[in-house]
Structure 1
Amino acid sequence: MHQTTSTGSSRRMMTAMFLPLFASLLSISIVNVALPAIEESLEASSADLQWVLSGYALAFGMALVPAGRAGDIWGRRRLFLIGVVVFGLASLGAALAMSPLVLNTARVFMGFAAGILTPQVIGMIQQLFSGPARGRAYGMMGTVIGVAVAAGPALGGLIIDTTAADVGWRMTFLINVPVTVAALIGILLWLPKPQDDDAAAEPATTDAGPDAASTGSTGTEPHGLQRLDPLGVVLLSLAVLLLMLPFIQFRSLLGGLFAVAGLLMLGIWALWERRLGRRHESAPMVNLKLFALPSYTLNSMVLGLYFAGMPAIWAVVAVYVQQGQGRGALIAGLVTLPSAVMVMLLSSRVGKAVESKGPRILVAGTITAVAAMLLLSGTAALMATPYGSIWLMAAALGVVGISQALIIPSAQTLSMHDVPEEMAGAAGGVAQTVQRVFTAIGIAVVTGIYFSVTAEQGHQSGIVIATLVIAGLMLSSVAAAIFAAKRAALSAAG
């Protein structure tokens, strides 16, 4: 069910959807510059600080697919409201925390809430928009993602540098509260009412008969909690936890064993989903027929491979500017602003063009990502000469913003093009989970290389080598984008 809406109505709906999405993504990047202040204020250990980051990431990753499926079944607007409320309350709890334990508990709830609301945004875009309007919505979503990630360090640095030590880091969490309040008002006023939202849920069917036979399903449709596939939720959540832990917490032999166990658990989950799918098409949490859609699988892989490398650059640049160059948190944040500006300027335009030029835009974006990393590596190397400047590095990061504006809206739109509306939330959850896992892997690999090289040769060599490693990782996204574009061309010709 696609809603027919005016331009003004569309903008209001996107505002209601994207405000909490912006806050949830901002909470990933803004906290990086707040860690030293948290350490001093709460007398937190290095393990406590690690969990400020990893607790959020783990809860976020584990919630995505079950929440997406729950939204498909019980109404995306309801789940979105729940996620926004929990996120706002948890942010308030983090801002008021008087101990590392309370802070990290609040961060886990923030991550869980972010995991609930994020797939609902994708599902609602599929439900409420179609054609070029959908591309524009995903373009705006790309703008929100890019600005939140790139502007977070600048905003955090500004807050930390202009407030008292014990106040600044609390403000980085507290700013989420008015944002979520404004979002709640927008949701209640502008998004479809629950009865409309329910119309997007899966249609009810009766016992197996001719219709079931035509879809390859047998048996009866599950009811109640069974529709969420509780065992599938547990198996996939454990798989995601075991796959992410080695890269954000246990970088050791034990972590390797966790990763192997995670892959095995993922295999068991896939077998279980396949078995449920044979009983009834709507029984599994994720219908594995989703992965038979080339547009979904290939374009989601392009986006996943992009996230395997590019997010790590923000962590590396933040460390390099502050520790390698001795600059403050505000300067470290300002260096990332050109990227945010380019995303703001380009993402909506890219979204409008995806319908006609999507595959070509995606290929161009991945190639631009490689070029951006090579350019950043060159400007970083110049820092050892009189011609170097961190503002040249900032300009190179602007090219990163161009790549992000080209890739995210186009890959997101193309990946969801053929996904049935009733599977949109689960499909969005799967894609987002892949991105979270790949991001954790990429950050672990790139920062590990950066710190290893820095220990031996200094920050200067560390930043150069790290950017070259990311450029190499980005080549895989170029190959995937070219393959996806050729497959799309063959499908169009056929």
Structure 2
Amino acid sequence: MEEAPTRAPAGGKRERDRRWPALAVCLTASFMTLLDISIVNVALPSIRTGIGASQSGLQWVLSGYALTFGLVLVPAGRTGDVHSRRAVFQLGLAMFTVTSALAGAAQNEGWLITARLLQGAAGGILVPQVSGFIQQMFQGAERGRAFGLMGATIGVSTAVGPLLGGLLIQAFGTQEGWRWVFFVNLPIGLAALPVAHRLLPGPPRRDGPDPRGRPHGDLDPVGVLLLGIGTVVLLLPFVEEDQWSTPLKWLLVPASLLILALFVEWERRYAARGREPLVALGLFRQRSYGLGVLLSLLYFAGFTAIFFILTLYLQNGLHYTALEAGLSIMPFALGSGAAAAVGGRIVTRIGRPLVAFGLVMVVVGLLGTALAVHLDAGRSIGWVTAGPLLFAGLGSGLVIAPNQTLTLSEVPVARAGSAGGVLQTAQRIGSAAGIAAVGSVFFSRVDAHHADWSGGFQLGVLTSTGLAALALVVALVDILGSTGSTAPDRR
């Protein structure tokens, strides 16, 4: 089906001058939502002490957020496309602020789990609007710079979470320190809400139906339901791997694939009837989009799991404090943040080879990390891994932001939110699957060899490296296949 081509940002000089401050508001809110994926890891012992949470409850504090976050990404992105990204962004930001307060004030396990489920949904409502705004407000090299800053935000928020969590728990104590992991969002959210209303662009003016005669408010409720069920069923066995000991849980994976196949067929038939589907399947016929989504899924499966097993190794194996563990992860965060900003500036000139080069750096850096732990597994591990992690972080910064720019480069603005939601859903699925796979390898070694934390970490890192190498293969396929390609397909 035909889509309207991407147009230049509308508005006069005043609107153009607002773009970068508006982006800062978007990235601040996005930072909060992504930070809450990683910051809670180091707060789990404090939560157990503070409210006596069970192991199953702690797992749901982590996994519940990821489940509801991934559940609403695409529908929320499409709602912003159809109606008003600013209104949906403000709704998500307000919800995230309120649910952060509820989580911090939790008096028991059930209260905290419920707050985290709602907080995850709020994050999933907010995040796809950010990529939609970038598509709407920027073009060409400026869009690459904007996505570069977004990539830096993703990399830094994922890696800095354990450090910030450790600082807060050390400052406020083990008993109550976990509450401030959530309360820290309140002043940021309250300050960002009025600024977002003033700076973010409102919905475009639409007179009547779109050029194909379809109503602008078509949200495809059956498609929303099928995609939501399929995503949750796919994520459940990964996020609940530790709690569900039966291997029957993996039957949910083929069940989810069947549901998602029904979703694809529904979307195809829905579009054939002249309606506007939730996901424009024609986007996947664009090489940049289809391969970019796959690359993102594989890469997030690899790099997100590193922080999970490194935190466990340092805190449980070497008895690092939460603050010391967070500081040990900082080299990756610093490298990722610095390189992402640079990668965003140069990706429009270099293209997918830049992503491939970054992936090579990640693979080399992770192999160097495993070698460093093999040679020196003592308490100085935070120092000996700093160099390899910094190198891997620099490579990561050349992957996330440039890949986001290239993947969405040919997506029409009218589809920016839902297309970005699909990309971010792939990232969430990749993260959940990667943590489950790498964590399984890690714990199997630790348990089978009498708490061999060093050996478990090395095997886990090698597994993550393999996932990053698969992402590199996808990048190379895109590079080799782009030779002699024709003009972009905008269907």
Q: Match for residue 3 of structure 2?
A: none
Letter matched to residue 409 of structure 1: A
Task: Find the counterpart in structure 2 of residue 479 from structure 1.
Answer: 473
Shifted more, 71-80 versus 480-489: the winner is: 480-489
Question: Could you tell me how far apart the structure 2 residues matched to 1:340 and 1:486 are?
Answer: 31
Deviation at 1:491, TM superposition (A): 2.3
The CA distance in 2 between the partners of 1:183 and 1:345, in whole Å, is 25
2:170 aligned to which of 154, 157, 161: 161
**Residue type of the alignment partner of 1:84:** L
Give the aligned partner of residue 34 of structure 2: 25
* Residue number in structure 1 paired with 2:4: none
Q: 1:463 to 1:331 in 2, by over 3 A?
A: same
Corresponding position: 1:351 with 2:344: yes
Q: Give, in angstroms, the shift of residue 309 of structure 1.
A: 1.1
State the partner residue of 1:423: 415
| Structure 2 unaligned spans of 5+ | 1-6
- 8 Å CA contact retained: 1:247, 1:441: yes
Question: Of 340, 344, 366, which residue of structure 1 is paired with 2:359?
Answer: 366
**Residue of structure 2 equivalent to 1:77:** 86
Query: Which secondary structure does the structure 1 equivalent of 2:319 belong to?
Result: coil
Paired residues for 1:262-301 under 5 Å? 262-280=256-274, 282-301=275-294
CA contact (8 A) 1:146 1:340 kept: yes
2:255 equivalent in structure 1: 261
Deviates more, 1:95-104 or 1:393-402: 393-402
Pairing 1:435-450 to 2, within 5 Å after superposition: 435-450=427-442
Return the offset for 1:204: 4.5
1:176-230 CA distances to partner (integer Å, 9 max, x unpaired)? 11111222132122112x3xx234x7x7437xxxx65xxxxxxx62565xx1111
Give the drift of 1:487: 2.8
Structure 1, residues 110-137: CA drift from partner, whole Å, max 9, x if none?
1001100111001110001001110000
Given the alignment, which residue of 209, 213, 219 partners 1:205?
209
Does the CA contact (< 8 Å) of 2:338 and 2:394 recur in 1?
A: no
> Partners in 1 of 2:58 and 2:34 — Cα distance?
18
Determine the structure 2 residue equivalent to 1:246: 237
- Aligned pairs for 1:153-192 (under 5 A) are 153-192=162-201
Instruction: Return the match for 2:139 from 130, 155, 158.
Output: 130
Q: Is the 8 A contact 1:383 1:460 kept in 2?
A: no
CA separation of 1:136 and 1:42: change in aligned 2, threshold 3 A: same
Determine helix, strand or coil for the equivalent of 2:277: coil
Root mean square deviation of aligned Cα:
1.9
Verify: 1:12 aligned to 2:30, yes or no.
Answer: no
Counterpart Cα distance in 2 of 1:156 and 1:77: 30
Q: Check the 8 A contact 2:82/2:216 in 1, yes or no.
A: no
Aligned structure 1 segments of 4 or more residues deviating by more than 6 angstroms: none
Work out the CA distance in 2 between the residues paired with 1:247 and 1:389: 29
Provide the rounded CA distance (Å) in 2 between the counterparts of 1:412 and 1:488. 18
Residue-by-residue CA offset, 1:267-317 (whole Å, 9 max, x unaligned): 00101000001011x521111111111111112211111011110000100
Q: 1:359, 1:488 within 8 Å by CA — same for their partners in 2? A: no
Which residue identity lines up with residue 475 of structure 1 in the other structure? A
1:116 equivalent in alignment to 2:120: no
- SS of 1:491's equivalent in the other structure is coil
The corresponding residue for 1:410 is 402
Partner of 1:148: 157
Query: What one-letter code is carried by the residue in structure 1 that aligns with 2:396?
Result: Q
The amino acid across from 1:205 in the alignment is P
SS of the residue corresponding to residue 175 of structure 2 reads: helix
CA distance in 2, matches of 1:204, 1:138: 32
SS at match of 1:70: helix
Give the corresponding residue for 2:225.
Answer: 234
Using the alignment, how far apart are the partners of 2:63 and 2:261 within structure 1? 24
Determine the C-alpha separation between the residues in 2 that align with 1:18 and 1:72: 19
Q: Which amino acid aligns with 2:333?
A: A
TM-score, with structure 2 as normaliser: 0.93
| Distance 1:223-1:490 versus aligned 2 partners, 3 A rule | closer
Q: Aligned equivalents of 1:459 and 1:373: distance in 2? A: 17
Relative to structure 2, which stretch is displaced further, 478-487 or 55-64?
A: 478-487
What is residue 469 of structure 1 aligned with on the other side?
A: 463
Q: Is the 8 A contact 1:150 1:340 kept in 2?
A: yes
Equivalent-residue separation in structure 2 for 1:344 and 1:440 (angstroms):
23
Letter in 1 for 2:158: V
What runs of 5+ residues in structure 1 fail to find an aligned partner?
A: 213-219
- Is 1:332 aligned to 2:325, yes or no? yes
- Stretch moving more, 49-58 or 461-470: 461-470
Q: Which has the higher helix share?
A: 1
CA distance in 2, matches of 1:349, 1:468: 28
Conservation of the 8 A alpha-carbon contact between 1:382 and 1:389:
no
Q: Cα deviations across residues 227-276 of structure 1 (Å, max 9, x unaligned)?
A: 11111111000000000000011463331121121111000010100000
Residues 127-151 of structure 1 show CA distances to partners (whole Å, capped at 9, x for unaligned) of: 0100111000000001111111111
Deviation at 1:10, TM superposition (A): 3.0
Structure 1 residue 68 displacement after superposition: 0.6
Residue identity matched to 2:236: L
Question: Does 2:329 align with 1:323?
Answer: no
Distance apart, 1:8 and its partner CA: 5.6
